[in-house]
Amino acid sequence: MSEAGLRPRAVFLDRDGTLIEEVGYLDRPERVALYPWSTDAIRAFNRAGVRVVLVTNQSGIARGFFTEEVVRTVHDHLAELLAAGRAHIDAYYYCPHHPDGKIAEYARKCDCRKPGPGLVERAERELGIDPGRSFAVGDRWLDIGLARAVGARGILVRTGYGVTEEGRPPEGLAADAVVDNLIGAASWILKELC
């Protein structure tokens, strides 16, 4: 398939339970634990020319559990871990909001909390991504909901909350694929590109 003249594809990648272990509210960089296959999966996307855009709901900011600064420190640490394996994430986007938040400036309904399309629209604006040629990967149905909201394909992974989520699909929402983990998602996506 010719890529000429087309806007780039991306994988909109969930963080907790998909790229790194789900540990509840992640409030310190020392608690970041990549799954053993995560670096290989990201490197495979890098080599295939698929942009990797991390999109994560971080309502812990609105709830007052940690600050945006902490989230940025976590992402800097994550970038270092991936760089050690010659892999990189092209952009790190997060939603700091929640309607029931305690911190006034973040306590609101927004359009960037997944499955809202705000973070993907930002990637479209800032990185020129074509969501219609892209994929969302995550361990929650809201990640699949995001895919639906932006016209991307959605892949549910069985890590994190994924096994539980697989057993209780919401009415009217189905994943394009359900796979064991992120490397399974990478295999599925890269096969689709051939």
> Which residues carry out catalysis?
14, 16
89 near Zn ion, judged by CB under 5 A:
no
Picking from 129, 143, 165, the residue whose alpha carbon sits closest to that of residue 7 is 129
Q: Cα angle at 96 between 91 and 100, to 5 degrees?
A: 155
Q: Which one of 9, 15, 51, 97 is in contact with Zn ion (CB under 5 A)?
A: 97
98 near Zn ion, judged by CB under 5 A:
no
75 binds, options Zn ion, Mg ion, none, Cβ within 5 to 8 A by partner type: none
98 binds, options Zn ion, Mg ion, none, Cβ within 5 to 8 A by partner type: none
Of 48 and 177, CB closest to Mg ion: 177
Q: Which residues of 54-81 are buried (b: 16+ CB within 10 A; e: fewer)?
A: bbbbbbbbbbebbeeebbeebbeebeeb
Picking from 57, 189, 42, 51, the residue whose alpha carbon sits closest to that of residue 118 is 57
Q: Which one of 42, 112, 175, 178 is in contact with Zn ion (CB under 5 A)?
A: 112
91 near Zn ion, judged by CB under 5 A:
no
Q: How many residues bind Zn ion (CB under 5 A)?
A: 5
Picking from 47, 41, 55, the residue whose alpha carbon sits closest to that of residue 129 is 55
Q: Which one of 9, 11, 13, 16 is in contact with Mg ion (CB under 5 A)?
A: 16
Residue 137 backbone phi and psi in degrees, to 5: -125, 130
88-107 footprint of Mg ion as x/- string (CB under 5 A): --------------------
Of 16 and 90, CB closest to Mg ion: 16
Please provide the distance, in angstroms rounded to a whole number, between the alpha carbons at the two ends of the chain: 7
Q: What is the spatial distance between Cα 143 and Cα 134, in angstroms, rounded to a whole number?
A: 13
17 near Mg ion, judged by CB under 5 A:
yes
Q: Which residues in this chain contact Mg ion in the complex, by CB under 5 A?
A: 14, 16-17, 139
Q: Which residues in this chain contact Zn ion in the complex, by CB under 5 A?
A: 95, 97, 110, 112-113
